[in-house]
Amino acid sequence: MTLKSVAVVGASLAGLRAVEALRRSGFDGRIDWIGAEPHAPYDRPPLSKQVLRGEWGPERIGLARGEISALHAELRFGVRAERLDTQARRVHLAGGESIGFDGLVIATGASPRRLPGQPDLEGVFVLRSVDDALALRDALARGPRVVVVGGGFIGAEVAASCRQRGLDVAMVEALGQPLEQALGPTLGALFADLHREHGVDVRTGVAVAAIEGERRVERVRLADGSVLPADVVVVGIGVRPETQWLEGSGLELRDGVVCDGTCAAAPGVVAAGDVARFWHARYGESMRVEHWTNAVEQAEAAVATLLHGPAAAKSYEPVPYVWSDQYDAKLAVAGRPRGSDELRVVDGSLEARRFVAVFGRDGRLTGAVGMNRMRKLMDWRQKLREDLSLDEALASLTS
């Protein structure tokens, strides 16, 4: 079927790149672009760093490569999609409007997880949107004592930014080390030490029992009985995909919109970015990837599937890539490592905090991590594309 109209739901990075890919591929039909946030698409990585530290204003993080008007899309930003009817091929919006489509791109992203029983107190924040970042930045300007709950990428970056602002910061991680789930205990311990050296009170292996206060947050009580005084609490414990509006649509939902290996969720329906759970043939697993590079690459792949149909669609098999800046440390991770994988340092040293280390599992190269060695890390990302065994990858160092 020739597409005459496409609805793109999500004013996200993936949504923007999908609209751009549609026009770049020669699609000249109607595009209805719907986004729950009132803002045009913007870059999220700076929110926990440059924006939070007060170095950048929101005007610095716009994502459009040119004027959005040049994409000739019907914009509905600040309007939430509430229901999808795949049979009638219509998206129903808050306020009663519905939009018909021939093709649909789902790029609604994800929203922050909250702690069980998390109270609605002033001073308790999550960080996902530009509005979240600006509200948190205003609170930090008052010099508060900060407790960051969660030692993943967002939690670690927020803790670093708060310390760089000169604030009193504690970071609480329920696992044994920060970033342990992604990098394993050895590298997690390295980042725990990095934060401690910069003055963060790092508490690991302990959960939050309660966030307490009268009207405003006053303290965080931990499961070991200790208490951390707090004027600001930032909860950074991951995200869940925005799929509530798709319940009852007939699409399969399982921690995301379930897609095949070409990003197709149903005939004429594709998904991209944080919301998409797709089959990765190279890794032999269904996965959801919450990284900037995946949003860009998957949007292109999803649009190609939508425009050319399943017969011509190509399998989407990316090598995931994510980066993080904390203090003067630049970290990047490529591939699909697990914290339990075998770890080998192949360049530099952990002690110097300038290295590349690779991960292996069952004899296969599964990932690589670089700290202050970005160029070397990109070489290993290419090796991951070649699907080498761990021994083959290590042997290539001397070839």
**pLDDT above 80 (res 68):** yes
pLDDT in tens, 318-342: 999 999 999 999 999 999 998 899 9
How does residue 394 score in pLDDT terms, banded at 50, 70 and 90? Answer: confident
How does residue 66 score in pLDDT terms, banded at 50, 70 and 90? Answer: confident
Which are the contacts of 25, defined by CB distance < 8 A and separation ≥ 6? 303, 304, 307
pLDDT at position 131 is: 97
Regarding predicted confidence, which is higher, 78 or 389? 78
**pLDDT above 90 (res 393):** no
**pLDDT above 90 (res 311):** no
| Percent of the chain whose predicted confidence (pLDDT) is above 70 | 99
pLDDT in tens, 128-186: 999 999 999 999 999 999 999 999 999 999 999 999 999 999 999 999 999 999 899 99
Task: Tell me the C-alpha distance between 269 and 105, whole Å.
Answer: 6
**pLDDT above 80 (res 397):** no
Q: Is 317 helix (H, G, I), strand (E, B) or coil?
A: coil
**pLDDT above 80 (res 189):** yes
Which are the contacts of 303, defined by CB distance < 8 A and separation ≥ 6? 18, 21, 22, 25, 105, 270
Q: How high does pLDDT run on average in the chain?
A: 95
Mean pLDDT of 310-319: 91
pLDDT at position 399 is: 62
Query: What phi and psi, each to the nearest 5 degrees, are found at residue 211?
Result: -105, 120
Burial class (CB in 10 A: 0-12, 13-18, 19+), 132: middle
pLDDT in tens, 190-207: 999 999 999 999 999 999
**pLDDT above 70 (res 281):** yes
Task: Tell me the C-alpha distance between 144 and 153, whole Å.
Answer: 22
What domains appear along the chain, each with residue ranges and CATH number?
5-111+239-308 (3.50.50.60), 114-235 (3.50.50.60), 328-395 (3.30.390.30)
> What sections of 141-257 are H helices per DSSP?
153-164, 180-197
Taking alpha carbons only, the member of 269, 237, 280 closest to residue 151 is 237
CA 265 to each of CA 50, 262, 268, 386: distance values in angstroms, whole numbers, following the listed order:
36, 9, 8, 28
pLDDT at position 2 is: 83
**pLDDT above 80 (res 1):** no
CA 398 to each of CA 234, 249, 376: distance values in angstroms, whole numbers, following the listed order:
46, 54, 15
Structure-token pair, residue 390: 């761990």
pLDDT in tens, 210-263: 999 999 999 999 999 999 999 999 999 999 999 999 999 999 999 999 999 999
Q: Of 211-215, 263-267, 389-393, which range is least confident?
A: 389-393
Place of tokens 């009985």: 225
pLDDT in tens, 81-122: 999 999 999 999 999 999 999 999 999 999 999 999 999 999
The torsion of the CA quartet 137, 139, 145, 146, rounded to 10 degrees, works out to -50
